[in-house]
Amino acid sequence: MHTIFYHHEVAAALLARIFLGLLFFFQGIDAVFNIQIRGVLRTIEEPMSKIGVPKFLIITGTWFACYIELIGGFLLIIGFAKYYVMYLLGLDLIIASIALSIMKAMWDMQFIFPRFAILIFLLVIPSDWDVVSVDYVWSIIKFFRSLTH
């Protein structure tokens, strides 16, 4: 019980990582399975094409965003390859910000900014705060394997 009351930073890292992962994961589920890639493309293709964005960039960006949100969100929830995933999700946020700015100059940041803030928090906290993750367990296994070889 002692550790629960004295390691709030571990709980903060865990809660932030899982919360951010859930936000991206469910957005990815919606984009891939409910709206589907074609539906997402229909929404953004016309305004992007009007300003001259090549169709292959629109398609590539849409596929990247939808699947990195789905897969990256899941990986963030379990804490596997979390830094690589966070970099890719950060790139996703940048792409989404550019696309939304192209479509509407004064767009509502209510969906992007909270994700960005949590992502920055997770990137700047010390890595030893985020110990409840697959990455951490994997590092312990690798450590003990190195002792036996």
pLDDT digits (tens, 9 = 90+) for 59-80: 999 999 999 999 999 999 999 9
**What is the pLDDT at residue 100?**
86
Across 10-36, average pLDDT: 97
Match 């906290």 to its residue by tokens: 125
CA distance 113 to 45: 23
Do 72 and 81 form a contact (C-beta atoms < 8 A)? no
Asked whether residue 4 carries a pLDDT value surpassing 70, the answer given is no
Could you give phi then psi for residue 24, rounded to 5 degrees?
-70, -45
Do 41 and 62 form a contact (C-beta atoms < 8 A)? yes
Mean per-residue pLDDT over the chain, rounded: 93
Match 């900014």 to its residue by tokens: 113
CA distance 37 to 106: 25
**What is the pLDDT at residue 5?**
67
Is pTM beyond 0.75? Reply is yes
